[in-house]
């Protein structure tokens, strides 16, 4: 490879350093917020049952001390990432702790947690600690001023994929032709200052639907282009601030607004660092010579192939839903890990029945005996969780002495303002159905649009 | 320099955004400030004309109940017992109009189903408390030995003659009187406390309620709808009918008539009617407007019309229940199964369709979405 290659040529390291600082800071705040809101207790300590992801049924929460230690470690490692102190260990530690917590229970899956997982993984791969960091103070020999362009480009491309997929996922008739679910959500915000009164109008819901789809589809290209970048970032701020005001989405807007700074030029980032230097009165380093980080030859050789595979996966995985029959919003087969954000207003209620195969006695289950209200709500609209819950019930009642419990469910779901209808075939014994990695679930009743 | 300008603009926008957001967030939660933007007339109506009057009704009925207990304790007779029983019925029915509002002051001051209406009542603990065991009225383990079900047991379980004897000639008469006085005083205090907490001159929760616009977790509409649906789904569907007719659990008997609400006085059906009427009143107090505004259709009729019809149908089925309910359950009266099916339909409409049309999440967790 030559030094003129677009991906391997050397660029200034400042964008990586700024990304590291911003991302670490947002994650530190978001982890502290998570702990302060009592969610560690509510999500991982209180519930008796959990909904692990397929393949990870072997991981479980381990009580209060363990979970709080985990989140404390997470907060600490996020802070270390921000400071650039013991960076390699900190990024790995954060990534592992975060993945572990996310894999414990599907109930709490959010696209922005997936985004955090991905970026904390990508941060492990790049030498973002080699400039303006405590690691450099600790070991000045680590200092580098230029890095191969791919280390910065991959962060940009990952963001491009996220926005493009989010945009493509909005190209549905519900979103574009019915302005659903914004039509339900916006009027509920009619009492906020300034824009509130506007939100009662249906055309505003249409405007927001179309504008946000257009934004998601085009923003990557606007940000990549030098001449339109400032305008693009202005749009990013407008868009994410609006979502922060209108919806309850926690740290996500802040995460995106800080992450998209990566698109700015290296001069911009150098300037940011100079300002930070001034604020914290950190003297500029005396040496001004250019220094390049050294990569191990094996890493140099393997990285292009690895990144090619990684991005191929990132581009293809969100489209796996095409392989399933039926309406994606209804079945949610291939819904997660695909940047489908705020696409539906979906609610359900479920009545589970257990039948003792031996005696024929059938009784109803009180879901709140097993699940927290939050788990119950998420379970009631997601078929894979319904199946997991049915299996939990089967195992529970087997321990209670019922040899072959049959589990059926009457589950009603309403999607995007349509009347509720039966969601799951209520004659199917879910205790006998198996979960598969990517298999279609034939017992989800077809979605009929009335 | 142009770069400097970009940086300044970006920082400026960031800071403005931060301020905007923190304002809009705090606007939802402040207790005393003026309402931000438009006030929500539905919240005004629900708070002022439905919730506060319901609590006032409960406070006055429980004050009368407490007074009737005092009169009875001073001179137990058939007359004072009858008066006490009437006062009890009125107060219990007033509770049926308040159990839907389990949020805010009600939760803070223990005016909740857990403390006010846990049934079947814990007769063993009641007997112990009457017999002189030390107890804390709201202590752990005492929740099922208090509230209306405990009074229901004390003044109806043995018929009027035996009841009078238990409060006069019985060795534990003094203890029975004392415990009954504590029970009625406790309900009265809680109800009065909640009325005070809502009133403008007290805690002024009414203003908090009216200002808590929107549908996020913590907004008034979300709190109300969650409490309303929880009361319907859990208290009415499961506890008042489902469990007595033996819907739950593999180990219980097929039916458990003694587990109905107000088993001893036989008020079960009257209380159910009062409760369903309360649901209707709350729904028509403004939730209907919001559902109608969502323009969701239920086949050829609007969702709003469908919910109104369903609540009326449910009321007629509840009114047709055999009285007393426990005897009807014992005899497997088919109208109970009918009513239960209707309750199911209503649960789906309220929990799924209504909350979906309102954009409210049914869950008691303050979580992030995406």
Domain ranges of chain A: 10-318, 345-432
The shortest CB-CB distance from B234 to any of A351, A363, A368 is to A368
Structure-derived torsion over alpha carbons of residues A128, A133, A135, A140, reported in degrees to the nearest 10: 100
Q: Is B368 on the interface with A (CB under 8 A)?
A: yes
Q: How far apart are CA B196 and CA B55, in angstroms?
A: 10
Q: How far apart are CA A337 and CA A343, in angstroms?
A: 14
* pLDDT for B38: 59
Give how far B328 is from chain A: nearest CA, Å: 20
The shortest CB-CB distance from B37 to any of A37, A192, A342 is to A192
Structure-derived torsion over alpha carbons of residues A110, A115, A116, A119, reported in degrees to the nearest 10: 170
pLDDT averages per 10-residue partition of chain B, 370 residues: 58 55 41 49 95 97 98 96 97 97 95 95 95 90 94 96 95 95 97 96 95 86 92 91 82 78 96 97 94 77 93 96 94 92 93 89 61
* pLDDT for A292: 81
List B residues 191-250 in contact with A (Cβ-Cβ < 8 A). Answer: 213-217, 221, 233-234, 238, 242, 246-250
* pLDDT for B33: 36
Q: How far apart are CA B166 and CA B240, in angstroms?
A: 29
Both tokens of residue A224? 């990549």
Residue B306: list chain A partners with CB under 8 A: 419
Determine, for residues B214 and A189 on separate chains, whether the beta-carbon distance falls below 8 Å: yes
Determine, for residues B368 and A248 on separate chains, whether the beta-carbon distance falls below 8 Å: yes
Determine, for residues B24 and A420 on separate chains, whether the beta-carbon distance falls below 8 Å: no
The shortest CB-CB distance from A345 to any of B14, B293, B356 is to B356
Both tokens of residue B80? 């004072």
Q: What is the pLDDT of residues A359-411, one digit of tens each?
A: 888 888 989 889 998 999 999 999 999 999 999 999 999 998 888 999 999 99
Please provide residue A352's backbone torsions phi and psi, each rounded to the nearest 5 degrees.
Answer: -95, 140
Q: Is A361 on the interface with B (CB under 8 A)?
A: yes
Interface test with B, best of A191, A197, A223, A279 (most B CBs within 10 A): A191
CB-based contacts of B231: which residues, under 8 Å, 6+ apart? Answer: B99, B100, B102, B113
b/e burial code for range B48-65 (CB count within 10 A of at least 16 → b): eebbbebbbbbbbbbbbb
Determine, for residues A413 and B294 on separate chains, whether the beta-carbon distance falls below 8 Å: no
Q: Is B169 on the interface with A (CB under 8 A)?
A: no
Q: Is B134 on the interface with A (CB under 8 A)?
A: no
- Collapse the DSSP code of B72 into the 3-class scheme (helix H, G, I; strand E, B; otherwise coil) and give the result: helix
Q: Are A329 and A383 in contact (CB under 8 A)?
A: no
Determine, for residues B214 and A188 on separate chains, whether the beta-carbon distance falls below 8 Å: yes
Q: Is B111 on the interface with A (CB under 8 A)?
A: no
Q: Is A249 on the interface with B (CB under 8 A)?
A: yes
Determine, for residues B21 and A417 on separate chains, whether the beta-carbon distance falls below 8 Å: no
Token pair 């209180």 is found at A46
List A residues 383-442 in contact with B (Cβ-Cβ < 8 A). Answer: 397, 400, 402, 412-414, 417-420
CA angle, residues A416, A417, A421, in degrees to nearest 5: 90
Q: In what order do the strands lie in the sheet with A421-422?
A: A362-364, A346-356, A405-415, A421-422
Determine, for residues A363 and B249 on separate chains, whether the beta-carbon distance falls below 8 Å: yes
C-alpha R_g of chain A: 24
Residue B21: list chain A partners with CB under 8 A: 241, 244-245
Q: How far apart are CA B6 and CA A229, in angstroms?
A: 11
pLDDT tens over chain A, length 450 residues? 444 688 888 999 999 999 999 999 999 999 999 999 999 999 999 999 999 999 999 999 999 999 999 999 999 999 999 999 999 999 999 999 999 999 999 999 999 999 999 999 999 999 999 999 999 999 998 999 999 999 999 999 999 999 999 999 999 999 999 999 998 888 878 778 888 889 888 899 999 999 999 999 999 999 999 999 999 999 999 999 999 988 888 889 999 999 999 999 999 999 999 999 999 888 877 666 777 877 788 887 888 899 999 999 999 999 999 999 999 999 999 999 999 998 998 989 999 999 988 888 888 898 988 999 899 999 999 999 999 999 999 999 999 888 899 999 999 999 998 888 999 999 999 999 999 999 999 999 999 875
Residue B42: list chain A partners with CB under 8 A: none
Closest C-alpha among B283, B292, B195 to residue B232: B283
Distances in Å between the alpha carbon of A408 and those of A368, A388, A443, B151? 17, 12, 11, 40
Determine, for residues A188 and B351 on separate chains, whether the beta-carbon distance falls below 8 Å: no
* pLDDT for B368: 67
- Collapse the DSSP code of A111 into the 3-class scheme (helix H, G, I; strand E, B; otherwise coil) and give the result: helix
* pLDDT for B13: 55
* Burial label, A71 (beta-carbon count in 10 A; 0-12, 13-18, 19+): buried
């Amino acid at each position: 490879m030559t030094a003129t290659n677009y991906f391997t040529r050397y660029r200034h390291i400042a964008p990586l350093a700024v990304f590291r600082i911003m991302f670490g800071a947002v994650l530190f705040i978001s982890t502290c917020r998570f702990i302060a809101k009592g969610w560690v207790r509510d999500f991982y300590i209180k519930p008796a049952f959990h909904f692990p992801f397929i393949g990870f049924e072997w991981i479980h929460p381990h009580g209060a001390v363990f979970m709080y230690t985990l989140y404390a470690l997470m907060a600490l490692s996020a802070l270390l990432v921000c400071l650039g102190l013991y960076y390699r260990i900190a990024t790995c530690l954060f990534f592992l702790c975060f993945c572990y917590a996310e894999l414990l229970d599907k109930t709490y899956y959010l696209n922005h947690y997936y985004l955090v997982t991905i970026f904390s993984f990508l941060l492990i791969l790049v030498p973002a600690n080699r400039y303006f960091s405590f690691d450099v103070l600790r070991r000045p020999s680590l200092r580098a001023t230029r890095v191969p362009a791919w280390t910065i480009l991959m962060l940009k491309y990952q963001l491009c994929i996220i926005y493009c997929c989010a945009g493509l996922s909005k190209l549905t008739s519900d979103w574009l032709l019915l302005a659903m679910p914004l039509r339900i959500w916006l009027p509920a915000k009619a009492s906020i200052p300034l824009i509130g009164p506007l939100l009662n109008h249906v055309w505003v819901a249409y405007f927001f639907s179309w504008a946000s789809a257009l934004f998601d589809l085009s923003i990557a290209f606007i940000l990549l282009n030098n001449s339109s970048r400032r305008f693009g970032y202005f749009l990013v701020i407008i868009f994410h601030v609006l979502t922060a005001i209108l919806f309850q989405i926690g740290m996500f807007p802040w995460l995106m607004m800080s992450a998209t700074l990566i698109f700015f030029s290296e001069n911009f980032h150098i300037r940011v660092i100079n300002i930070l230097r001034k604020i914290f009165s950190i003297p500029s380093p005396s040496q001004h010579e250019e220094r390049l980080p050294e990569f191990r030859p094996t890493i140099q050789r393997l990285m292009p192939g690895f990144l090619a595979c990684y991005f191929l996966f990132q581009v293809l995985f969100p489209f796996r839903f095409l392989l399933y029959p039926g309406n994606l919003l209804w079945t949610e087969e291939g819904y997660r890990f695909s940047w489908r954000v705020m696409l539906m207003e979906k609610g359900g209620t479920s009545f589970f029945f257990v039948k003792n195969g031996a005696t024929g006695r059938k009784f109803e289950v009180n879901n709140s005996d097993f699940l927290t209200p939050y788990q119950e709500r998420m379970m009631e609209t997601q078929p894979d969780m319904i199946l997991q819950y049915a299996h939990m019930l089967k195992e529970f009642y087997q321990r209670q002495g019922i040899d072959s419990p049959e589990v059926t469910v009457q589950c009603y779901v309403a999607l995007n303002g349509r009347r509720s209808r039966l969601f799951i075939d209520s004659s199917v014994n879910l205790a006998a159905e198996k979960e598969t990695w990517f298999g279609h679930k034939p017992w989800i009743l077809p979605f009929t649009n009335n | 320099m142009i770069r400097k300008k970009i940086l300044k603009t970006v920082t400026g926008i960031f800071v403005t955004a931060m301020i905007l957001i923190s304002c809009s967030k705090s606007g939802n939660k402040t207790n005393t400030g003026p309402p931000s933007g438009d006030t929500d007339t539905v919240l005004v109506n629900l708070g002022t004309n439905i919730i506060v009057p319901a609590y006032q009704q409960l406070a006055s009925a429980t004050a009368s109940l407490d007074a009737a207990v005092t009169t009875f304790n001073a001179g137990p007779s058939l007359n004072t017992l009858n008066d006490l029983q009437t006062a009890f019925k009125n107060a219990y029915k007033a509770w049926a109009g308040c159990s839907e509002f389990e949020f805010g002051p009600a939760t803070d001051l223990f005016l909740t189903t857990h403390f006010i209406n846990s049934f079947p009542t814990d007769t063993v603990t009641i007997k112990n408390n009457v017999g002189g065991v030390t107890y804390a009225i709201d202590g752990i383990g005492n929740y099922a030995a208090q509230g209306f079900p405990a009074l229901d047991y004390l003044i109806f379980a043995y018929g009027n003659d035996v009841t009078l004897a238990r409060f006069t000639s019985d060795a534990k008469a003094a203890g029975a009187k004392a415990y009954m006085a504590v029970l009625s005083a406790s309900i009265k205090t809680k109800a009065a406390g909640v009325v005070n907490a809502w009133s403008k001159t007290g805690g002024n929760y009414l203003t908090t309620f009216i200002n808590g616009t929107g549908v996020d977790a913590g907004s008034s509409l979300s709190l109300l709808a969650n409490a309303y649906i929880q009361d319907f789904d859990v208290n009415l569907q499961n506890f008042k009918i489902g469990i007595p007719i033996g819907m739950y659990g593999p180990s219980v008997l097929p039916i458990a008539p003694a587990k109905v609400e107000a088993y001893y006085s036989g008020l079960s059906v009257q209380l159910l009617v009062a409760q369903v009427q309360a649901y209707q009143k709350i729904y028509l107090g403004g939730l209907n407007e919001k559902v109608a505004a969502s323009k969701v259709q239920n086949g050829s009729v609007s969702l709003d019309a469908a919910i109104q019809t369903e609540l009326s149908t449910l009321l007629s089925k509840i009114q047709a229940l055999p009285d007393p309910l426990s005897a009807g359950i014992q005899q497997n009266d088919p109208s109970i199964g009918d009513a239960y099916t209707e309750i199911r339909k209503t649960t789906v409409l309220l929990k799924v369709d209504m909350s979906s049309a309102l954009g409210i999440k049914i869950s008691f967790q303050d979580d992030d979405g995406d």
